[in-house]
Structure 1
Amino acid sequence: MSDFDELVDFVVVGSGGGSMCAALLMRSAGKKVLILEKEDLVGGTTARSGGVMWIPNNPFMKRDGVPDSYEQASAYLDSVVGDPVDAPGTSRQRRSSYLHEAPCMVQFLVDQGIKLTRVAEWPDYYDDRPGGSAPGRTVVAELFNVNELGPWKNKLRKGFLQLPATLDELLELPGFKRSWRIKILMLKIAFRAIAAKLTGKQWISAGAALQGRMLQAALRADVDIRPGSPVRELIMKDGAVTGVVTVKDGRPWKVGASLGVLVNAGGFARNQRMRDRYQPGTSVKWTMASSGDTGEMIEEMMRHGAAIAQMDEMVGTQLTLPPEEQGADFMPTAQRLTAAPHAILVDQSGVRYMNEGGSYMAYCKGMIERNKQVAAVPSWALFDQQYLKKYMLAGKMPGSRKPKNWIDEGYLHKAESIEDLARQLKMDPSTLKSTVERFNGFVVKNRDEDFHRGERAYDRWLGDPFQKPSAALGAIEKAPYYAVPVVPGDVSTYGGVVTDECARVLREDGAVIPGLYATGVSTASVMGRVYPGAGCSIGPSFVWGYVAAKHAAGINTDPV
């Protein structure tokens, strides 16, 4: 070990949620741990996200009387994920380990003083399958006063929305024009913001709150966190990973890790070369992953023999991009755009081809698959005046008036008839008219016979609770008619190195690479090729970071 410039027990590459979780476990075991973050800001894509973790059978479900169990969650994953032969990240052994360890991980964080809770209603994305949960299995952080971080406040990556509102509250706000209760909620949030200013607080929410709380706990536990410290190489000796080469004061710095190295460095969403190789037809222009999501640590693990899998998968999120949002740091999602009443999605021939209320990952996969047969990237969100008056569009509040340049620059198309709209979109007018008429017929029957939109709790949750009789279906019948493009964006990639039930990185032959662990989207997801519910990338990042640290520290990881 004399070849090293510095010695610690455990090195963590990257500062996402799983990194902080692993570091806290190591510190609770009395071990010296070092987090190396290549960027100047800590928190990773987790801090930019909604900060939701999918944790079956979690303690907050028990607190609120929401039924769940290992068996119920296992049945759900068996039904939704299955046993794909081309997705080794989701072996039954790994799924079992995840379901056993996830609630333990949450309880560990709570015991460390991290304030977590659940969203009252966030249905599993396939809640109609065996074992599905309509109330949902989400865990989130409570609001956090970022000023409590002191000098580290400016080192935490900012979240997507700077409002002192919980996720439950944020999800309700778009309906403010139609509910006095939501108007009162907006006043409550405004008063909270005013009170915070008067008392010297700065509340943050969602992923930034989760990572703010994790960072605070890590600092209190005396975790050594070094921003601006990229890892250039893994050091291997006698077939085992024994440390890393990072950068300190502008020169290479070798750090030895007696218990191992955990890689949680994100995926490759910001690397167009890797996207072209593994996910042709997708673009770095459509990702909302952290700027550091460039894939070099996946390739470094591959250089040392790591197996990879599921590299063609991404956590898709449908986007619609007005001119001013092209290349923006946070781009407007179209998740609820075509899931709400009075709207549908069509391909470039004018044909509807999916349940618009499904999970964002399934939605984007559907677009990409459709594009192999019929031009569908971009697809078109088609809606009428009713939609525009009631719902948000591309981040703008409900109401008829939209920026003039949206039409001038060809983003928003507007016409007095479906046929005229079709001509603007270079579609056959009779095809688009037939598509709309068929959908309107389903609205009358209150049943989508083609794609079953509105039959799942999740579809209805995405829709409009004030719309009767269906929260998901509403006729497209009041002129003017509108269309905007939708593209298959993402929040991260979903494939990487293959790991076992202890989060150890595996070779192609299934052998363990000693001393090397991985978590987060640096790995082939335990959820395989499906996104079963909100937080199915962040939840596993935390859980496998926790499991890796337990194993490396010699703490029992057998299911209780």
Structure 2
Amino acid sequence: MAQFDEVFDWVVVGSGAGSMASALLMKQAGKSVVILEKAQWVGGTTCKSGGVMWIPANRFMNPGEDSLEQACRYLDAVVPDGPDSPGTSPARRRTYAVEAPKMLDFIVGQGVKMERGSTFWPDYYDELPGGVKTSRTVTALPFDKNELGKDWASKLRQGFLEVPVRLDDGMKLPFMKHSWKIKRIFLKIALKFVAGKLTGKHWVTAGAALQGRMLKAVLDRKAAEIRTGSPVSELIMDGDRSVGVITARDGRPWRVGARLGILINAGGFAMNQAMRDRYMPGTQAKWSNGIETDTGDMHIELAAKGAQLAQMDQMVGFQMSEAPGWDTDYVKPGTQSTTGKPHAIQVDQTGVRYMNEGGSYEEFCENMLVRNRTVPAIPSWAIMDQQYMDEYGVAGKGTAKKNMEKWLASGWMRRAETVEALAALIGVPPAALGGAVARWNGFVRSGRDEDFHRGERAYDNWLGDPFFKNGPNQCMGTIEKAPFYAIPIVPGDVGTYGGVVCDCDSRVLREDGRPIPGLYACGVTTASPMGRVYPGAGASVGPSMTFGWIAARHAAGLGNQFG
């Protein structure tokens, strides 16, 4: 039997949202918990993310708006089963649909303030059976991280949006000039921000708000001992059972035992270029919005202990562009809202349009990678006209009016008086690009994208412009007003999407399908329970929290207690 420096009931590796959810449940069961975080900050990738949870039939939805059967019908329609996707199954998806709303009720009961992410944030494939055209999203309310106290506030990882704004309201602000209602939202946010500065508040929203609130709940309830700067290097086995971990403390190896089990929620391998080259060639760590500690350490260790790795070629794609300053940006400039707007399309390096520029960011990047296997498509080119520049921001870098000269001088953006001249600047055949633009303009005028059906799902239009008046949908506009513009688009990501295969109780499985006793996993350390598809906003954070919670419930032997 292994000798330990100390022993807890529940040992958690990583401090993402699933870790906090598991700790809160273990506290309810009267168990001791330690959370070991490799980084100097708490919160993991969740903290840097939008912090959205995709939770069907949740407490914030209207009666009759959703149901368990409708959610399962949608997931079964969206997520294909097969030998290349062992992370998912009808049983595992149904487990998620059943347990996610219960997990949410439990977390809210712990004092974590949540709300509906929006009344209009459609599923990414809302046209399929069971799809919801309103919203299954849940987010945390903005949070003053100074509520954590000085020591812990400084340990909460930086979020991408540190202002007192609800995420839904923040996404409306780009359309402020069209709506007095949105202007009033902006004024309210500005006043709250100023008041916060005067009263010593430090507001965060999105993922940082979720993790700030989860951390506060854990601290208030003394649900776990949380240690930063504590990387785990090895799992300790007793026969075929996982019984502890080796971490570091005061500069030396430290052996921590686990009476009930170990939960691995250590993120993915977004920052490990060698693993990317092996599993997902053509992608780059430098294009990722993952965190610096996302290096796949526990993927490697879990595989060494006999766990099955699967779906390792998958990532949560998030298209981006190497705009000026991108290499030092805390959040790489995403371009989903660029190519999804009216007056914009995307073409490959032969000048051919090859996909719906709206839709799921995961599918968008997958399309780029697949296209690039036969036709050069990395980078691809977003093509826009002056109508676009007059109306919208570009790649999260502001408006053309303020930034155009800088963009052109850097060489990132290209501009020409004709489509054919623009083609020459970006190195694509002029006739092909001219044909792609002309064909697109014809689709706009007829009101239907006959090639890729852009605008035929609610989510496409959600990405568009709710105030767009020049056509039958909100995401199709002509490209015909000179000058014309192009920027390069690459398949970035917000993290990887493959890892160890788990069962419905979050137990890590061996290659032969047997669980490894005492070993659980959740989050992007696992092969996603959504398989190779991202069904809606929050399809990583929601499952991480739910399966972390399920793992704790199973390890503590609680059955259906607390849910």
Q: TM-score range by the shorter chain?
A: over 0.9
- Is 1:136 matched with 2:153? no
- Match of 1:236, SS state, is strand
Cα 1:20/1:555, change in 2 over 3 Å:
same
CA distance in structure 2 between the aligned counterparts of 1:260 and 1:457, rounded to whole angstroms: 43
- Is 1:385 matched with 2:386? yes
CA distance in structure 2 between the aligned counterparts of 1:65 and 1:189, rounded to whole angstroms: 31
CA distance in structure 2 between the aligned counterparts of 1:96 and 1:549, rounded to whole angstroms: 19
Cα 1:66/1:378, change in 2 over 3 Å:
farther
Q: CA RMSD in A?
A: 1.3
- The answer to whether the 8 A contact 2:337-2:395 is kept is no
CA distance in structure 2 between the aligned counterparts of 1:409 and 1:398, rounded to whole angstroms: 16
Task: Give CA deviations for 1:391-434 in whole Å, capped at 9, x if unaligned.
Answer: 11122333434253422232000000001000001111111011
- Match of 1:192, SS state, is helix
Identity of aligned residues (%): 58
- The answer to whether the 8 A contact 1:101-1:559 is kept is no
CA distance in structure 1 between the aligned counterparts of 2:260 and 2:402, rounded to whole angstroms: 60
Counterparts of 1:151-550 in structure 2, within 5 Å, are 151-222=151-222, 223-468=224-469, 469-550=472-553
CA distance in structure 1 between the aligned counterparts of 2:162 and 2:112, rounded to whole angstroms: 21
> Tell me, which stretches of 5 or more residues in structure 1 are unaligned?
none
- Match of 1:491, SS state, is strand
Cross-structure match for 1:35: 35
CA distance in structure 2 between the aligned counterparts of 1:2 and 1:16, rounded to whole angstroms: 28
Cross-structure match for 2:60: 60
- The answer to whether the 8 A contact 1:342-1:476 is kept is yes
**Structure 1: which amino acid aligns with 2:545?**
F
Cross-structure match for 1:78: 76
CA distance in structure 1 between the aligned counterparts of 2:2 and 2:511, rounded to whole angstroms: 32
CA distance in structure 1 between the aligned counterparts of 2:488 and 2:380, rounded to whole angstroms: 6
- The answer to whether the 8 A contact 1:174-1:397 is kept is no
Structure 1 range deviating more: 21-30 or 196-205: 196-205
2:111 to 110, 113, 127: 113
1:124 Cα offset (Å): 0.2
1:65 Cα offset (Å): 3.9
- The answer to whether the 8 A contact 2:2-2:238 is kept is no
- The answer to whether the 8 A contact 1:66-1:135 is kept is no
CA distance in structure 2 between the aligned counterparts of 1:51 and 1:401, rounded to whole angstroms: 30
CA distance in structure 1 between the aligned counterparts of 2:482 and 2:327, rounded to whole angstroms: 28
CA distance in structure 1 between the aligned counterparts of 2:178 and 2:67, rounded to whole angstroms: 38
Structure 1 range deviating more: 402-411 or 206-215: 402-411
CA distance in structure 1 between the aligned counterparts of 2:63 and 2:339, rounded to whole angstroms: 33
1:85 Cα offset (Å): 2.4
- The answer to whether the 8 A contact 2:115-2:138 is kept is yes
- Match of 2:31, SS state, is coil
- Match of 2:209, SS state, is helix
**Structure 2: which amino acid aligns with 1:125?**
Y
Cross-structure match for 1:9: 9
Moved over 6 A (4+): none
CA distance in structure 1 between the aligned counterparts of 2:545 and 2:66, rounded to whole angstroms: 20
Q: Under a length normalisation based on structure 2, what TM-score does the superposition of the two structures give? A: 0.97
**Structure 1: which amino acid aligns with 2:251?**
G
- The answer to whether the 8 A contact 1:243-1:255 is kept is yes
**Structure 2: which amino acid aligns with 1:172?**
K
CA distance in structure 1 between the aligned counterparts of 2:492 and 2:476, rounded to whole angstroms: 25
CA distance in structure 1 between the aligned counterparts of 2:204 and 2:510, rounded to whole angstroms: 41
CA distance in structure 2 between the aligned counterparts of 1:403 and 1:338, rounded to whole angstroms: 18
**Structure 1: which amino acid aligns with 2:390?**
K
CA distance in structure 2 between the aligned counterparts of 1:78 and 1:409, rounded to whole angstroms: 47
1:53 Cα offset (Å): 0.6
- Match of 2:237, SS state, is strand
- Match of 2:551, SS state, is helix
- Match of 2:539, SS state, is coil
CA distance in structure 1 between the aligned counterparts of 2:416 and 2:402, rounded to whole angstroms: 15
Across the two proteins, how many residue pairs are aligned to each other? 558
CA distance in structure 2 between the aligned counterparts of 1:255 and 1:124, rounded to whole angstroms: 42
1:293 Cα offset (Å): 0.7
**Structure 1: which amino acid aligns with 2:266?**
A
CA distance in structure 2 between the aligned counterparts of 1:504 and 1:465, rounded to whole angstroms: 44
- Is 1:23 matched with 2:23? yes
1:196 Cα offset (Å): 1.6
- The answer to whether the 8 A contact 1:60-1:118 is kept is yes
- The answer to whether the 8 A contact 1:268-1:275 is kept is yes
Q: Under a length normalisation based on structure 1, what TM-score does the superposition of the two structures give? A: 0.98
**Structure 2: which amino acid aligns with 1:330?**
V
> Tell me, which stretches of 5 or more residues in structure 2 are unaligned?
none
CA distance in structure 2 between the aligned counterparts of 1:133 and 1:308, rounded to whole angstroms: 32
- Match of 1:322, SS state, is coil
CA distance in structure 2 between the aligned counterparts of 1:428 and 1:97, rounded to whole angstroms: 51
Task: Give CA deviations for 1:234-271 in whole Å, capped at 9, x if unaligned.
Answer: 00002100000110000001011000100000000000
**Structure 1: which amino acid aligns with 2:494?**
V
Task: Give CA deviations for 1:483-541 in whole Å, capped at 9, x if unaligned.
Answer: 00000000010000000000000000001100000000000000000000000011110
1:220 Cα offset (Å): 1.2
- Match of 1:291, SS state, is coil
CA distance in structure 2 between the aligned counterparts of 1:31 and 1:401, rounded to whole angstroms: 56
- The answer to whether the 8 A contact 1:123-1:134 is kept is yes
Task: Give CA deviations for 1:373-395 in whole Å, capped at 9, x if unaligned.
Answer: 11000000000011011111122
1:290 Cα offset (Å): 1.2
1:558 Cα offset (Å): 9.3
